[in-house]
A and B are shown apart, each in its own frame.
Chain A
């Protein structure tokens, strides 16, 4: 009996055995995936598999990239996504897929016991398919993880460099922690955008919270100051601690055309002076 027919006819039996095996193999993760969800996912995948086997010719030229396998790949991506979000590990994900083998093998050996050669061919075919499925699930898992990391990274960068309008025509951005090229770039972009939106004439970069200033960070500050000037505003760097002043001089970094101040207050009063703002009496 052909593989596709067997899986079609014995669908419920295979699914039931698979669910039982999932429990036995300990890949069920009932803590994060409910039993109902688990069954729905297993059913979805098995149905896709049955459909793909029926639609493609399951001879020796099994090719997972064949469009006939689209439903299986989609099902895997969907399952992988829901499981990634609930914190299932890639190993557990692969085990979950691989555990389907036993239930299919059992059924195959019952139906084709009289034809050992066919049986071996079918076992080999199922092994190949399930292995591909597991690999695809892992690669989908990695892709999804990367997308999550990328999203978090950009969110974190946004949050860690908020540009604030602190006075009419004055914007400021505090730099915190370690500054890498990517963050320095984002800060520059946000600051320049804020200058346009808020019609700011002075932009203060406060580096009080920066842990270390090296040549790279100094270079980025210089570039930012130059870009701010090109846009028609003035750049002030405040929060230069004695230690940072020493570092900058020792590094031999020249900060021409850049106003620097010890703390944000001095930076702000410089900005007031430039803009002719008078405060209090």
Chain B
């Protein structure tokens, strides 16, 4: 399984996670994203998880950690495209990803980052 490609467009680091990840590639992806944010001085990170059928506590924790690390570099992290079944499972697991912003899709997340608006679904 190849790594998911990370690209940066107008100050947004974007990654569409392609397949269900094993733990090692999750950690590799995290490294890659943080380095890309630092290198490009990006304002935001968009992680598209629409192809993920499973998000367990390990991946959930990585998303939270990612948001925190990017935050330290002054970038927002927005997770987009979560499937309904995944959302319900995470809630049942007790993982609400409180520190992570969410949006329906990458397009909307891009709009949020470029306009500097807060996500409608930010945790209060």
Contact = CB atoms under 8 A, between A and B. Distances in A.
Direct chain A–B contact by Cβ atoms under 8 Å: yes
Interface of A: 188-189, 192-193, 195-196, 199-202, 223, 226-234, 256-257, 274-275
Contact of B84 (A189, A199, A200, A256): A189
Interface string B47-77: 0000000000000000000000000000000
A233 B88 contact: no
Contacts, number: 73
A201 B90 contact: no
Contact of A229 (B84, B86, B105, B121): B121
Given A192-B84, A196-B84, A202 B102 contact: no
Contacts of B91: 223, 226-227, 230
Contacts of B102: 229-232
A237 B104 CA distance: 20
The A interface is mostly helix, strand or loop, or mixed, namely: helix
Residue of A232, A274, A275 with most chain B CB atoms under a 10 A cut-off: A232
Residue of B80, B90, B92, B120 with most chain A CB atoms under a 10 A cut-off: B120
B32 interface: no
B88 A192 contact: yes
Interface of B: 79-84, 86-88, 90-92, 96-97, 102-105, 108-109, 119-121, 123-124
Contacts of A233: 104, 120-121
Contact of B97 (A193, A201, A230, A256): A230
Given A229-B102, A234-B120, 9 more contacts: A196-B104, A200-B104, A202-B120, A229-B121, A230-B87, A231-B121, A232-B121, A256-B124, A257-B124
Contact of A227 (B79, B81, B87): B87
Contact of A226 (B79, B96, B103, B108): B96
B92 A223 contact: yes
Given A193-B84, A231-B84, A232-B82, A274 B120 contact: yes
